Structure 1
Amino acid sequence: MSSQERWCVVTGGRGFAARHLVEMLISYEMYCVRIADLAPSIRLEQYEEEGPLGKALKVGRAQYVSADLRDKTQVLKAFQGAEVVFHMAAPDSSINNYNLQRSVNVEGTKNVIESCVALQVNRLIYTSSPSVVFDGVHGIINGDESLSYPVKHNDFYSATKAEGEALVLKANGEKGLLTCCIRPSSIFGPGDRLLVPSLVTAARAGKSKFIIGDGNNMYDFTYVGNVAHAHICAERALASKGPVAEKASGQAYFITNMEPIKFWDFMSIILEGLGYERPRIKIPAVVMMPIAHLVEFIYRILAPYGMKVPQLTPSRIRLLSCDRTFSCSKAVDRLGYSPIVSLQEGLEKTIESYSHLRAEQQPRKDRQSKIHRYLGGGRVADVLLWKDEKQSLATILILLAFYYNFVASGYSMIATICKLFLLVAVFLYIHANLPERIFGCTIEKVPVSAFHCSVEKTNRAALSVVTQWNTAVDVFKTLCRGGDWMLFLKVAVALVIVGLLSAISFQRLYLSGILIMFSAFYIYDKKEDEIDGIISRITNSRSTPKSE
């Protein structure tokens, strides 16, 4: 088919899946391709300059137009003379911001539909998501298009994508416009800037060892080339006219590689292919949820100061621990879709394309972090910063056991101390009477010296107490002399904070302390430079005088 004077538009044309669709359209010579995206101009990667896209731009078979879907005037300009629109633009799904998601996925989609109708565009193919039928609670096994939208979605991205999809399906047949929606499941492949890079970042930080949930949840992944192929299948079906177009239009279609796999097996293949350790430590999703909520709360506060979108969010925890497989029978029947790249071949291509992220090519971070040094750089620091996952988990379990047996028990302070000493005495007595070896394992005895306090240690402890006392006395002397308002402010703020903390029950304070110690320190350890940069920007913005 000649593409002479026949144009199609790809919104969000510089996105991951959209780039592959653009190249496929150009390679098939079906249409001249107009790429619409937010950037003021197009910047090609080296491989793109030398490939079909670069050549097409040079000879005029491809164009780039800067367009914000939220501005209808810009949308109308981008769609001029187009026969087909592939609407693939959407914000980052990990940004759980309602106003942003709605402005693009709903209001922007309205502008796309109205512009297609006004300019008599023949066909509109909308890139939706399987998440439009996912409530974040119940897993989906071999789900088909009969599934309805849930009352409450997993996040704002899913909710607004569902609204946008409904608008596109409703517009089918309006003044000759034929529409359909494609729901590709978990896209992967070369050029992905989210899945593989985030996996490698986690592996470099030692976080790829963890499996969230039981590790048996099944998933459907879709190679990005198959996603592009599905869009073309949909366009060809709508262009066929007659019974084929009538049967295909006004419908939504799940698109997968049609090869379900355990989610964590898929991740392991990629990690091991790049030379990293596969996940092996299972953590229940209910344990991760409070931490994820805390991370999301921190992000909401610090996002205006440049904090990047966190990978650990409540919606993502649900996605990582649930079953999500879908049937492609409807797409096969009505669109003629079938995968052109197998799951194994897709994984091989993906791993090969990220050879620069292989473990042996990554620089090693040998220096200790700032927070590690502040925590003493010893065993306590290693436990709080999750350097040894087993010790950290064991410590949390011990602290929680202490909480339920002593803090939350309602005993008086004296009764609690007596109970604690009794527990220690029973443990030491049993431990002392154990044989030196059990089932081939050596039992290390607790030496008496572990309880002995030397004169040197006693002197140091006493000196530390006296030093702190003298420091406090010096502070009060300075306050008595007056003049140092900054010192007064520090003391006042410290006393207010202590007063507020004292109003909180010890039980809540204890649990909050555990959560903060094992999450806040760890987050700062991994995001030290980023958090320091945010703090620096906040400080500078407050200290910089406003111009008159």
Structure 2
Amino acid sequence: MPIYSSDSDSYDVSSSSTRLFQRERPLHSILGGGRVADVLLWRKKNVSAAILLGLTVIWCLFEVFEYQFLTLLCHIAITVLLFIFIWTNGASLLNRSPPKIPEIILSASAFKQVAVTFHAELNRSLIVLYDIACGKDLTLFLLAIASLWILSVVGTYFSSLNLMYLGFVAIGTIPALYERYEHEVDYLAGKSNRDLRKLYKKFDSKVLNKIPRGPIKQKKSK
């Protein structure tokens, strides 16, 4: 059911062309349009659920059972070594082939693809941060400062592991939820953006414009 309001500045979500962050492409295309996008948007539910379950198990091991990273790594290595040893020596008795390391683990092209993708995403993130820091969009700049300050406050109450886990859970759930309720979220975001702009205009007219400024010196024309 579309969200609507009787206010003059409100509009039917079905007739709105405004999208969150003023994006023009679908969310799947923005996320890369490949397997990663399918996993983040839960189009491959088995893989997405397995990743989320794996992250939850890792979080429980470190946070609930208080495992240390080196201890856990050694225990996993011992388990893998024992499993491969038993499988290799028992393969002849059971008429099974010995285990082989999957080619994808040692594939140079896979490592290069990961490095290229990471490099591209890092550059794009740095460009976005630079544009925000330049203050081209004052509203976005203030929003970034406020978000970082809130994140710093939250960081004082949560451990780094909890923050990382919450971040992974958010990455694995928010895109899928947004795609499902895209129109409603876009409507609420647009309405909030208009309200913030109105508040900023009032603040600008009542506070910023009343701050005394020195005379502006004009450059002499040659």
Q: TM-score, normalised by structure 1?
A: 0.24
Distance 2:118 2:190 in 1: 38
| Aligned twin of 2:53 | 397
Which of 499, 503, 511 is 2:152 aligned to? 499
Residues 406, 416 of structure 1: 8 Å contact kept? yes
Q: TM-score, normalised by structure 2?
A: 0.51
CA deviation after TM superposition for structure 1 residue 460, in Å: 3.1
| Aligned twin of 2:191 | 537
Counterparts of 1:27-426 in structure 2, within 5 Å, are 370-411=26-67, 415-420=68-73, 422-423=75-76, 426=79
Would the alpha carbon gap of residues 417 and 489 (structure 1) be closer, same or farther in structure 2, given more than 3 Å must change?
farther
Residues 52, 169 of structure 2: 8 Å contact kept? no
Distance 1:384 1:462 in 2: 17
- Size of the alignment, in residue pairs? 171
More helix by share: 2
Distance 1:420 1:307 in 2: 54
| Aligned twin of 2:102 | 447
Would the alpha carbon gap of residues 485 and 513 (structure 1) be closer, same or farther in structure 2, given more than 3 Å must change?
closer
Distance 1:527 1:496 in 2: 28
CA deviation after TM superposition for structure 1 residue 527, in Å: 1.4
One-letter amino acid of the structure 2 residue matched with residue 423 of structure 1? I
More strand by share: 1
Question: CA-to-partner distance for each residue in 1:108-164, whole Å, 9 max, x for gaps?
Answer: xxxxxxxxxxxxxxxxxxxxxxxxxxxxxxxxxxxxxxxxxxxxxxxxxxxxxxxxx
SS at 1:387's partner residue? coil
Identity of aligned residues (%): 22
Would the alpha carbon gap of residues 526 and 425 (structure 1) be closer, same or farther in structure 2, given more than 3 Å must change?
farther
Q: Which structure's CA Rg is the greater one?
A: 1
Question: CA-to-partner distance for each residue in 1:299-325, whole Å, 9 max, x for gaps?
Answer: xxxxxx8999xxxxxxxxxxxxxxxxx
Distance 1:528 1:444 in 2: 46
- Whether 1:524 and 2:178 are equivalent positions in the alignment is yes
Distance 1:461 1:531 in 2: 29
Distance 1:514 1:459 in 2: 20
Residues 40, 175 of structure 2: 8 Å contact kept? yes
CA deviation after TM superposition for structure 1 residue 416, in Å: 0.5
Distance 1:543 1:473 in 2: 22
Q: Which residues of structure 1 form unaligned runs of 5+?
A: 1-197, 199-304, 309-368, 437-442
Which moves more between the two structures, 534-543 or 424-433? 424-433
Q: Which has the higher contact order (CA 8 A, sep 6+)?
A: 2
Distance 2:127 2:82 in 1: 43
- Whether 1:489 and 2:138 are equivalent positions in the alignment is no
SS at 2:66's partner residue? coil
Distance 2:195 2:144 in 1: 25
SS at 1:405's partner residue? helix
CA deviation after TM superposition for structure 1 residue 371, in Å: 3.0
CA deviation after TM superposition for structure 1 residue 456, in Å: 4.3
Residues 382, 388 of structure 1: 8 Å contact kept? yes
